[in-house]
Amino acid sequence: MPAPLKSTRFAFWISAAVVAHTLWTSAAPAMIYPLYAAQWQLSMTVLAVIFGLYPLAVVLTMLLSAGLSDRLGRKRVMLAGLISSAAGVLMFAVAGDVYSLMAGRVLMGIGVGLSAGPSAAALVDYAGNGGVSRSSAVTLGAQSVGFAGALLMGGALVTWAPAPTRLSFYVLFALLLMLSLLCLFIPADRPSGQARRLLARPHVPAYLRRSFTYAALAVMGAYTHGVLISSLGAQVARSLIGSPNAWINSLALALFPVALGIAGGLARKTEARRAIVTGSALSVAGMVSLCVSVSAHSLTYFVGASLVSGAGYAFMTFGGLALIARETRPEDRGNAMSMVFVFAYLFTGGLAIALGKTATALNLSTAVYTGAFILTAVCLVLIIQGLYQRRFRHPFPVKDA
């Protein structure tokens, strides 16, 4: 096997691991939020602020570093992101008060803000034949592994291990250090020639704006699932469903990324806009199941919500990323991918804080119903727009590029 091919494959899978770290880092505290609330008497608003600082830091970082990987190369920017994420995880491991948690979330957000767009773009760069569908499917698979790893490891260590608020973060810190070392061996990929500016102005090229709007709304809707699962999920299972066992709750929540991974493989054969419509319909069904689980205090419906919502997330995210990957020029790809995530994280950050305030001022049930209603509204817009494009503009092609 030629050395360049080996290097490309190595770079592809390390980039996939960087994608996985973005979801693992995001969901790492999910199973531990109830422990923080009990240990430090934190309100749902404070917990939501801790969660919400993360996507807001992601957004600010992406805006400030727009196009950086298109100029410095994917490798350098991903490596910087991993180092920042590791520092944030270490802050959680040694945290002695809520301000340490906030600082840690900001560092995690900076790390993911630096690495999310470049790692997704790197997968397209290194995917070879069938790059669009393969890279989008692997992105979803990596997100599934990261999300499930965070929930399952967190649930297991909270249930059976000592120092439940610290040990999972030490383990994740070690994993991120290993990944950073492996990232050093990715081939240098800085583009040749001198760019006039190191950073690009955050923008969406004119030729891409119509498709970008639809894709960004799809990924934004998909990431709303993350607010309901990562920010509120453990509290919902414990307080509203009545399941006190952290391991059982983590298993129920982990069905979301498991379904995400399976559906991501199926989505690979689906055209981008059709995938978005399919995912939106599944997400509406998932939100109905979530609301029923809360009103009926049913773990069964909660499990169903995790499964169906995970599939919806997969199709929506695949469709959004595949649409961007297919229609962007290579020199715009890193910036365009980052801008998709900017809108997704900005929306979810604000939503997390708003739902936390709703839970504190009213109750957790109302917060869940509100989040479900908002996601349903987004999905209906995507379905209507997608069907309109199919009916009046052009039919969905059978196969994506």
Q: What pLDDT, in 10s, does the model give residues 320-344?
A: 988 888 877 776 776 787 788 888 8
| Model pLDDT, residue 369 | 93
248 lies in a domain? Answer: yes
* DSSP, res 207: G
Residue 149 Cα to chain centre, angstroms? 13
Task: Give a yes or no: residue 242 inside a domain.
Answer: yes
Is there a domain that residue 201 lies in? no
The domain tally of the chain equals 1
Which amino acid is located at 65 in the chain?
S
CATH of the domain at 278: 1.20.1250.20
In a domain, 399, yes or no: no
Using one digit for the tens of pLDDT, what is the confidence trace for 78-89?
A: 999 999 999 999
Contact 122, 81 (CB under 8 A): no
Residue 46 located in a structural domain? yes
- Confirm whether 230 is domain-assigned: yes
398 within a domain of the structure (yes/no): no
Domain residues for the domain of 283 are: 7-184+207-393
Q: What would the mean pLDDT of 33-44 be, rounded to a whole number?
A: 83
Predicted pLDDT of residue 2: 42
**Tokens representing residue 180 in the block:** 């950073």
With a cut of 70, say whether residue 212 has pLDDT above it. Answer: yes
Residue 196 lies in a domain: no
Helix axis angle, 333-361 to 364-388, nearest 10°:
140
Q: Rounded CA gap, 264 and 257, in Å?
A: 10
CA distance 199 to 68: 5
Give the start-end residues of each E strand in 8-96.
Answer: none
pLDDT digits (tens, 9 = 90+) for 166-183: 999 999 999 999 999 999
Query: What is the length of the chain?
Result: 401
- Is the pLDDT at 397 greater than 50? The verdict is no
